[in-house]
């Protein structure tokens, strides 16, 4: 699965808001956590939800929960009872059910193509 990042994120005001709260290299930390969060949620098909335990284990950051909380304060993420939710996730990303259906469709089409290719090659 691919994760899309808007190039406007580079100079988005919310990234700099989070960055100000984080200090030195703050905007880079904010973009990094935001991108990793998107990639993880798309890979795991969680509809934008990041469990707190997952954030704690991210070895990319010295204090991952501090970075996550800065994203919340800036409005890039929201807090939930069990962790975090990427703000407006479904405005730019497919729902898990849609992503699963697409993967199944692609798998079916590829399997059929493979069968047809083998048949054409070996049943001359």
Is the pTM higher than 0.85? no
pLDDT at 47: 95
Q: What pLDDT tens digit does each residue of the chain (124 aa) get? A: 678 898 999 999 999 999 999 999 999 999 999 999 999 999 999 999 999 999 999 988 999 999 999 999 999 999 999 999 999 998 888 787 787 777 777 778 888 888 888 888 888 6
Q: What is the CA radius of gyration of the chain?
A: 19
3-state SS assignment for residue 85: strand
Structure confidence at residue 111 (pLDDT): 85
């Amino acid at each position: 699965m691919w994760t899309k990042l808007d190039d406007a994120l580079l100079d988005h005001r919310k990234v700099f808001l989070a960055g100000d709260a984080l200090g030195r290299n703050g905007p880079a930390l904010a973009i990094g956590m935001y991108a990793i969060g998107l990639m993880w949620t798309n890979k795991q098909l969680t509809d934008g939800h990041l469990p707190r335990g997952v954030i704690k284990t991210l070895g990319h950051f010295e204090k991952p929960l501090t970075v996550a909380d800065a994203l919340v304060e800036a409005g890039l993420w929201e807090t939930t009872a069990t962790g975090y939710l990427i703000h407006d996730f479904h405005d730019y990303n497919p729902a898990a059910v849609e992503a699963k259906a697409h993967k199944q469709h692609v798998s079916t089409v590829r399997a059929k193509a493979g069968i047809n290719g083998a048949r054409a090659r070996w049943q001359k």
